[in-house]
A = this chain, B = another copy of it.
Amino acid sequence: MSTPGSATASRLVSELGERGLIERIRQRLPPPPSDLIVGPGDDAAVIAPERGALEVLTTDALVEGVHFDRRFSSPADIGHKALAVNVSDIAAMGGTARIALLSFMLPDSTTVDAVDGMLDGLLGLAAGLKVALAGGNITRSPGPLVIDVTVMGFAKPRKVLTRSAGSPGDLLYVSGTIGAAAAGLDWLRANASGRAEPPTPALSECVSRHRRPEPRTRLGSALGRMRAASACMDLSDGLADAVHQIAEASGAGARIDSAKLPLHPGAVEWFSGRDVDPVERCIRGGDDYELLFSVPPRRRNRLRGVFHVIGGLSLTPIGELTGNPTIELVRDGAATPLPPGFSHF
């Protein structure tokens, strides 16, 4: 961890150069796991696959000004999130993340300190998840700071979860709570200049959720391994989006019961005080990295085994996949079309 105010604090990456930066990153890496045959510093990384497993591969970029705002997130928050969003995708497939590649695009104004901070966040989460940084790429950019991460993981054959494997009659479950990240970001924007602390612990939790999402790794791999879920995806673009995606990919409709939605208390508090509809904001807000998954009625008892391994995380039934062509939200007894989710364009 670098010390603010130290001699390197305002040193620019351009002074260190590409080679110097790569060397600085390599020196911070823990000893490589035995399945990482060739790590950073060669033309490519070489990994021994897990015996009898399939490979799960995903990539997701965070772009400054689109996915993060440096007024609201520290470099360590950004590094954490860049890895977390990718690990979440692996978890949503029922896989376990193992290897990450890091692709940095750095404006000339980037300080070495900022890079160190991003690595603090990324490597801290990686260590906890036993994910090894195996390589990547660094380039300067005339544009915004971008951190593009690729994660590879493993999953057992026939235990992979996709969006399309749901059927009418399957129950829809969501993990944890929804809307926290959207409320946290909304609060940060409203207080952009004030730098005040969130007024309540619940809202403070929302801000943390926006800054440092926790991928549901144990839940995802358990849902796959125990074959408890049919379809699954993460809530990167919000619950409403995920319901649409799973229903459409599965060739089904969906009915969500508004009264059952596990809205985060801090989000309800914040949005109610802002005179906007908490339900709509919580289901449309992106950056919740909870999982939405469908469970065929005959497999419901398998959820018990899943509960055993996920600690205190809640799993809430919020509706079901249907044989109708509609995707609807039932609220106070009336059904309306479920709004679309968050879009990056």
Contact = CB atoms under 8 A, between A and B. Distances in A.
Contacts of A21: 345
Given A103-B61, A160-B38, A141 B143 contact: yes
Interface residues of A, number: 69
Nearest to A21: B345
A262 interface: no
A294 interface: no
Interface string A59-71: 1110101110000
Q: Which of A58, A155, A157 has the most CB of B within 10 A?
A: A58
B139 A92 contact: no
Contacts of A345: 13-14, 16-18, 21, 140
Interface string A1-24: 000000000000110111101000
A266 B134 CA distance: 39
Contact of A59 (B38, B101, B160, B249): B101
A37 B144 CA distance: 35
Contact of A139 (B58, B63, B162, B233): B63
Nearest to A13: B345
Contacts of A89: 43-44
Interface in A24-46: 37-38, 41-46
Contact of A41 (B56, B105, B163): B163
Contacts of A59: 59, 101, 103, 135-137, 148, 150
A320 interface: no
Interface stretch (A47-55, A113-121, A198-206, A309-317): A47-55
12 contacts: A42-B93, A43-B58, A43-B88, A43-B89, A45-B57, A48-B54, A55-B152, A59-B150, A105-B146, A141-B143, A143-B144, A143-B146
